[in-house]
Chains A and B, each alone.
Chain A
Amino acid sequence: MKKWDDNKAWFMVIPVFLVVAVSAILPLMTVVNYSIQDIFGPDNRIFVGIEWYREVLTDSRLHDALNRQLLFSSLVLLIEIPLGILIALMMPKKGWGASLSLVLVALPLLIPWNVIGTIWIIFTRPDIGLFGAAINGLGIAFDHTGAPLDAWITVMLMEVWHWTPLVALLAYAGLQAIPEAYFQAARIDGASTWATFRYIQLPKMRGVLTIAVLLRFMDSFLIYAEPFVLTGGGPGNSTTFLSIYLVKLAVGQFDLGPAAAFSIIYFLIVLLFCWLFYQVLLKVGTGDKS
């Protein structure tokens, strides 16, 4: 059989390559550029090596922001994943109830981030907000602009209210994909509701839950709009998460070098955590003990 080279295949790959280059690789290279040089103008730059990285890594305010961020993301996962599963388990499996509950659950996902912020600020205001006034009416002082804990609770509420539906929808899709025969088999075996959840539903949802954990971790780790709209990172620095700090550094203080170095580190941290989650979740329940 005659063989020949057909270079036309390259034309199929080039568009994707261009899109990725322009949308991801070139901007990233700009950031890399800024992170290793001190740039004053187009023709005025000094190579500084890892100086910016050293500065950023020894910055105690950044350490605080990172710790705050880790605590926040852990809490988000601890609340949203079980809550999402619970909601998914309670949603009707078929009929008009299923469609209705899908629409209702999906509603918060349709609202833009900044609007979510505004809604909750008003909702939790002690003077005119329903939630804030009610809490204060019960005799509990609640003020998200003054008390750091209250600001945290408010950001958490926004985040949980906005994104638990995503976890619920993913979990619901996972549950719907389980063949009816599994539940019949469990009934015939005499398995309890808990055993059915523990040994059928949970293992069968592993794939979608892996995705939910990854998405929610990445997204909560990058949280910006909610604390920004609420207090701009305050009171004090209590809701200054990593991205708020990054923006303060880059836009507020115009320290582009450190901000660029920070971005690269930030990116690597997210990448590292996602890789870790992925590795761990892939092995859970597969009997792979390595």
Chain B
Amino acid sequence: MVTPKTLIKLASKWQKVAAAGDRRRRISLPRTRSSSTVADKGHFVVYTVDQKRCVLPIRYLGNYVLRELLKMSEEEFGLPADGPIKLPCEAAFMEYIVYLIRRHVDFEVEQALVLSIAPAVKCSCDSNLFSSAAPVNEATRPAIICGF
């Protein structure tokens, strides 16, 4: 079982890495050229609530945290009919997710992370029933995690 202590330790380590500003180790989201609206081969696009465009490798769709974020996006915003996917979190949190995926962290850590960001969403994940309803509580928004 992962304790909150482990999580905080992990998060602060990430912050140090990010703050160090070392070009080789800097955490950043891969992006396409701004002139192109279609992602590079092998990638998909999500937007964050603070309007940042994140271009991620297709294989990231297998990641548990990302899949949970997609479910939360559906609960919060519905499935977008005419545009790109928007995730209910900020870019800083996405950077953290990318860092976790690259580090291949344990599934337990990912699970703890998901539980900490949206306990309200968990009950609806156990079934394929409906895509609407269940507003995500303001207090449980993933943006909180960015404060680590």
* A and B together in one complex: no
Residues of B at under 8 Å CB distance from A?
A: none
